[in-house]
Structure 1
């Protein structure tokens, strides 16, 4: 889902196999009141009957560790199990009166063989709060406000028949000077240049 911003143009064909849909089993309703902190790991595992030595338990532990990272004034972040709380955090972090939410929408049926071509590009904002779903027994999102970003809405059409395909949200990191070298080797770019990524259907972006 990563690409160089300079390569985002009308007519650009996305790599074969690019898929935006994200499925998975339905999440349980949040019925445990334990905060999203590592010290409550055993309580959460016991409540949801997750074996302590399982891969799922490790995923839950990793999520709690990410959610418990110290506060950062430069890039505020927080985990949420409530959509309303996410919107309040985004509104405050963005310094706006009411944050708008954007998600990627698929129009029609997507398959691994679907090929997309960029039909239209529109800038949404130079300030955004993306929220990523985390591995957890119930719905939990990690939200943060990264610095020096640009959010976009990209209309994609089916390459073969030109029918409406996807209204995709994308985020571009405008300064990648401190990114790992592997990203530039992967994309054939130069350190510091803007790198973007599309957001799957289960991500939410506030702007």
Structure 2
């Protein structure tokens, strides 16, 4: 079985979590961080403000020889939202004449289309996150992995430097759960069967393995010298970050001027270093809803880097440099890509579009 169901679960999770007439996660941000702008990457993960937030919804899943059909109940327009998985792929329809969320699976990968204003993006899932520094790189990661090019040395952060880069998203379509829903939703290896049942994921499938990997990464200890936490809601991400940095903070993400980007040569046109050497970096994890692996260290520098691609694409990219890598796995992806040893020189990487770095203002 391929990643067909996993690709649509982020969409289906909205039917489980939208329960009030306001967006409580956004309200919580404003109450805790009134002077901090919310990055687009985070805002994109909030439940849609145009959704029916007051009507109860139900989710039914039917599996037959022809595939899988999921009906999430009637929305405000009275039309049902349905998902059909057949032999040739996945189709999602919200039943609305003005467009909705469509998911398609073909031989080239999984694409998610959230309506007429957004173009499809491809979901790719790595065996192990390259931003968890306990792991040795796998052979798959050393091959055609877009994250390979994101690693570089701090000395390269200067105007005129060129790099071959491809900025991607970890789990397009996955949305945050409100805090109460996240707290009530199992997220542990000991209750993994409950997790699969809740989201109608087949045990032993690729979808299940991806979700299990994320949970296990969250349960394992971090490297020495870092405070680690997995945030399963926006509220919990805010709480962890402010507990380490205070409430006078900035939250930053890589932003592109185009929805679709490709691997190409980018030229650095400007570099701005953030004053604090303490940061909290939150990496989006592949999961049915938005989950972030956050870690805080005293040996992290953050930069905002202006880039221009060969095709004219402009990016305001966030780069993070780790000045102490002595406790990282000696076979980590960064060391193999840069041909250096742990603890010898700072290791830097750009953040994918849906990752976040928090620094003191």
Q: TM-score range by the shorter chain?
A: 0.7 to 0.9
**What is the CA-CA distance between 1:110 and the residue it aligns to?**
4.8
Task: Name the counterpart of 1:169.
Answer: 318
Give the conservation status (yes or no) of the 8 Å contact 2:166–2:263.
no
Aligned 1:68-79 pairs, distance under 5 A? 68-69=219-220, 74-79=225-230
Aligned length: 202
Aligned 1:1-207 pairs, distance under 5 A? 1-15=150-164, 18-22=165-169, 24-27=171-174, 30=177, 33-69=184-220, 74-94=225-245, 96-108=246-258, 110-112=260-262, 114-124=264-274, 125-159=276-310, 163=312, 165-179=314-328, 180=330, 183-189=334-340, 191=342, 192-207=344-359
Partner SS for 1:100:
strand
Structure-1-length-normalised TM-score = 0.85
List gaps (5 residues or longer) in structure 1. none
CA gap 1:146/1:159 in 2 versus in 1, 3 angstroms = same
1:201 and 1:194 map into 2 onto residues whose CA distance is 22
CA gap 1:72/1:110 in 2 versus in 1, 3 angstroms = closer
**What is the CA-CA distance between 1:74 and the residue it aligns to?**
3.8
Structure-2-length-normalised TM-score = 0.51
Structure with greater Cα Rg: 2
List gaps (5 residues or longer) in structure 2. 1-149
| Cα shift readout 1:71-90 (whole Å, capped 9, x = no counterpart) | 88942222122213211210
1:3 and 1:177 map into 2 onto residues whose CA distance is 17
1:132 and 1:167 map into 2 onto residues whose CA distance is 18
Name which structure has the greater RCO, CA cutoff 8 Å, separation 6+: 1
Two-structure CA RMSD over aligned residues (Å)? 2.5
**What is the CA-CA distance between 1:158 and the residue it aligns to?**
2.8
